Structures are given as structure tokens and as C-alpha cells.
């Protein structure tokens, strides 16, 4: 049903076309390395699946997800070496409960959008029916899995992600409502329409899962990552909370003010 807070790792990139491996495999502290020895994660195990969405000539992103631990997958290393992309998002998932299935692996995809999430709605069980009922038919039918993460994504789409990401996020947080008794809501997510990388961090208490924006990389691109990818940029700055950050090659800006109080 859910992955516990801080247990996933995210890396994303926008800039000149590069092999996926330049972000996912090659940096000293790459996403692959983080999946085995994360410095800032509570659990050092990230073995419940991974996924990549990447953009090319098509509007719709490519999507590659599997339930095997990332470090055991020769397909992944080949894909990362051969596929070049100007914008991509990668995610490694850990979950201590429930079944692992491809449908529950991030990123999720709908049309031109892809989305991944690190965090948790601890009381998701109590609001899932209500949120599912609020989706319009075409989004309800497109959902494949059972995670809170996928529900946040589809609710964002229902709330007008295309027209106004900040307003969509405000409406989505309102629908989720206040935290329940199981603990604070924590949401750190990265998503894209194929042109811009959006990042958002939020926690009703405590810290939202970490997410950093790189400065300009050696090759002129920019990156987002749960933990700085050593050796690819001098400067990494923490994504602020409660405001959507929009990253393009030109830079990072925040969208219209606070998304949540």
C-alpha cells in the first residue's frame, strides 16, 4: 500500500542529451550507489523495484519499471548506457510491507506526464475510497496500482496539473486533508511534462524527505536528487518546502508562492 518515509531515492535530469547512466550509474554517489548505501535514508535497503521515465521525440515519455533490485538488473545497466535523453526521472523504491508489483513502481505515467514520489500518507487507507471516488472516469480507469503515490499523481491531474501546477497541488493537499493518528504526511515528489522538471516537498510535521537541486552541471544540464550526486556539480541546494520549484536548463524558479501553509 505504501512505502515508508525516506525510503525511496530519486534522481532527475534536464539538459543536453546524455546517456541515462551519467546520472544513474556513473556519479560516485549515483542513484544506483544510493540504493545500496544511502547516507540520508533511514533504511539502507532499497530493493523493491525501480523505474525510469525519459523523454525523446515523442510527447509521451518512455517508461521502464521492474521489481528486481536495481543492482541485479543487467537490462537496467544496458538501458542506461545506450539510451540518451534530454529529460528523465529515475526512482528506486523500498517498501517493507505488501507485495511488490510493477504497477506499484514509480514513475507513474499519464499522457505526457510522469511522476515519482518519496514519502507517505500514513492514513491513506482511510481516505483512499474518497480520493478514488473524486477522480473523473478517464483518470480512474488509468490507475493501475494501489499506492498513495499514484493517487497523489492522478489527483494532481484531476485538479488541473496542466493549467496550474501550484493550484493543483493546493487542491490535492486539501483533498488529502490533515494527518491522521498514524503520523505526519510527508510528500517529496518530482514530476514532468517533458519540458520542465517540477519538484515539491511537504511535511505536516518533521522533515520532508530530502531533495536537492544541482547548480549547472559540467555539461550544462541540471539535476534533482534525493542526495547530491558527487562529482557532477559543485553546488547542490535543498529544495524548499511548500512551494513548487520548476527546473529547466535556464535555472530553477519557484511557482506562485506557498502551496500549503
Regarding 137 and contact with a copy of itself (CB under 8 A), the answer is: yes
Do the beta carbons of residue 114 and residue 138 sit within 8 Å? Answer: no
Regarding 95 and contact with a copy of itself (CB under 8 A), the answer is: yes
Regarding 68 and contact with a copy of itself (CB under 8 A), the answer is: yes
Full 3-state SS string of 139-183: HHCCCCCCCHHHHHHHHHHHCCCCCCHHHHHHHHHHHHCCCCCCC
Count of chain residues binding a copy of itself (CB under 8 A): 43
Q: Which is nearer to a copy of itself, 50 or 200 (CB)?
A: 50
Regarding 27 and contact with a copy of itself (CB under 8 A), the answer is: no
Regarding 181 and contact with a copy of itself (CB under 8 A), the answer is: no
Residue 96, Cβ density class (10 Å: 0-12 exposed, 13-18 middle, ≥19 buried): exposed
8 is catalytic: yes
Applying the rule CB under 8 A, the residues between 72 and 91 that interact with a copy of itself are 72, 74-75, 78-79, 81-83
Regarding 175 and contact with a copy of itself (CB under 8 A), the answer is: no
CA 151 to chain centre: 13
Extended beta strands in 68-220, E state: 84-92, 108-110, 113-120, 186-192, 197-203, 212-214
The enclosing H or E element of 102 equals none
Candidate segments 135-143, 185-193, 196-204, 226-234, binder of a copy of itself by CB under 8 A = 135-143
8, 105, 116, 245: the active-site residue: 8
Regarding 4 and contact with a copy of itself (CB under 8 A), the answer is: no
Applying the rule CB under 8 A, the residues between 37 and 66 that interact with a copy of itself are 44-45, 47-48, 54, 56, 58, 60, 62-66
Regarding 113 and contact with a copy of itself (CB under 8 A), the answer is: no
**36: closest CA among 72, 11, 2?**
72
Alpha-carbon dihedral sign for residues 4, 90, 38, 71: positive
**Residue numbers at the binding site for a copy of itself (CB under 8 A):** 36, 44-45, 47-48, 54, 56, 58, 60, 62-69, 71-72, 74-75, 78-79, 81-83, 95-96, 99-103, 125, 128-129, 132-133, 137, 140-141, 144, 146
Which residues form the catalytic set? Answer: 8
Amino acid at each position: 500500500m505504501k512505502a515508508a518515509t525516506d525510503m525511496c531515492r530519486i534522481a532527475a535530469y534536464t539538459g543536453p542529451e546524455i546517456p541515462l547512466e551519467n546520472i544513474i550509474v556513473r556519479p560516485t554517489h549515483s542513484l544506483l550507489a544510493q540504493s545500496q548505501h544511502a547516507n540520508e535514508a533511514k533504511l539502507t535497503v532499497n530493493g523493491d523495484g525501480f523505474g525510469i521515465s525519459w523523454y525523446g521525440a515523442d510527447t509521451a515519455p518512455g517508461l521502464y519499471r521492474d521489481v528486481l533490485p536495481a543492482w541485479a538488473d543487467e537490462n537496467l545497466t544496458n538501458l542506461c548506457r545506450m539510451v540518451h535523453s534530454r529529460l528523465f526521472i529515475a526512482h528506486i523504491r523500498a517498501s517493507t510491507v505488501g507485495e511488490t508489483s510493477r504497477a506499484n513502481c514509480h514513475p507513474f505515467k499519464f499522457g505526457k506526464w510522469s511522476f515519482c514520489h518519496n514519502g507517505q500518507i500514513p492514513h491513506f487507507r482511510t481516505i483512499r475510497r474518497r480520493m478514488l471516488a473524486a477522480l473523473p472516469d478517464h483518470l480512474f480507469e488509468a490507475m493501475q496500482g494501489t499506492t498513495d503515490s499514484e493517487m497523489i499523481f492522478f489527483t494532481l491531474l484531476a485538479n488541473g496539473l496542466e493549467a496550474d501546477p501550484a493550484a493543483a497541488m493546493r487542491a490535492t493537499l486539501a483533498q488529502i486533508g490533515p494527518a491522521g493518528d498514524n503520523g505526519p504526511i510527508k510528500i517529496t515528489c518530482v514530476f514532468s511534462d517533458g519540458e520542465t522538471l517540477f519538484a515539491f516537498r511537504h511535511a505536516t510535521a518533521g522533515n520532508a524527505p530530502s531533495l536537492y537541486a544541482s547548480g549547472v552541471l559540467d555539461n550544462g544540464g541540471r539535476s534533482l536528487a534525493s542526495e547530491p550526486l558527487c562529482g557532477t556539480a559543485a553546488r547542490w541546494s535543498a529544495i524548499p518546502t511548500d512551494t513548487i520549484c520548476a527546473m529547466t536548463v535556464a535555472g530553477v524558479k519557484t511557482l506562485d508562492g506557498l502551496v500549503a501553509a
